[in-house]
Amino acid sequence: MNIILVESQSDLVELAAEDARTQHIRGTLRLGLGQPLYVGVLQGPRGYAKMVRDDAQGIALEVEWETRIPPLYPLEWILGLPRPQTAKKLLEAGASLGVQKITFFDAEKGEPAYAKSSLWKEERWVEHLKLGAEQAFATTFPELVRTASLADALTSISPRSSCVALDVYEANISLGAVALKDTPYILALGPERGWSADERTILRKHGFTLAHLGERVLRCETAAVVASGVLLPKWIDG
């Protein structure tokens, strides 16, 4: 954790002894009384804190809050639902990068059993978004959406978006060469088995450019991060 996330904004934050955040502060950060650290409210501001109590009941932190909330980038991911372990990596990576929205859809070539994972029950996926935000020293993380198909996933995208889909087989242009004008950028990746013919047709009808990252085939979580690294400078420097 590069920041300790808390549920609400208060000038005095108290954490119980059994709280995982307390154990992290004591065991990993090894902070003592008066020493500083950063805290943040989920989807809210960050604050500069110092420890003012450390006893058997837990710890207490005095906080001076910032007014600025760390922004998210105008980049959205639309992803064919992968195996749960890969989905966890994508959630954490997307939150760390500052992706605005992540939509997982049930792909035609996907494995139906993946949708039944416990990851998608009782909002367990939220913990992985929080982990990504903590790693990035941020408090904000992506909106998450689950849909039953690619067609459903594309119904909510802005008509002025710049849309690109990674495709190993039919793309004839590299991602870096794609001309992107409007934000948000929409990046679509199929499942491990790739796009179906019908899904490629749907992408093209919605104005997606099929692009590649070179000759090597990357894992979904690697491709998403590499592609985002190509797209974000276009917005940041533009």
At 68-91, the pLDDT tens digits run 898 999 999 999 999 999 999 999
Mean pLDDT of 211-233: 93
C-alpha distances (whole Å) from 24 to each of 12, 118, 217 are: 18, 26, 38
pLDDT attached to residue 237: 59
Claim: this prediction has a pTM higher than 0.85: yes
Pairwise CA distance, residues 112 & 39, whole Å: 39
DSSP of 66-99, one letter per residue?
A: -SPPPPPEEEEEEEE---HHHHHHHHHHHHHHTE
At 181-211, the pLDDT tens digits run 888 999 999 998 999 999 999 999 999 999 9
Two tokens, residue 184: 């948000």
User: Token match 């992985």: residue?
Assistant: 128
Q: Which letter, b or e, does each residue of 85-117 get, where b requires 16 or more Cβ atoms within 10 Å of its Cβ?
A: ebbbbbbbbbbbbbbbbbbbbbbbebeeebeeb
pLDDT attached to residue 53: 96
User: Is 165 within 8 Å of 201 (Cβ atoms)?
Assistant: no
Q: Is the pLDDT of residue 147 over 80?
A: yes
Instruction: Set out the domains of the chain in order of their start, with CATH numbers.
Output: 4-65 (2.40.240.20), 73-236 (3.40.1280.10)
Residue 50 three-state SS: strand
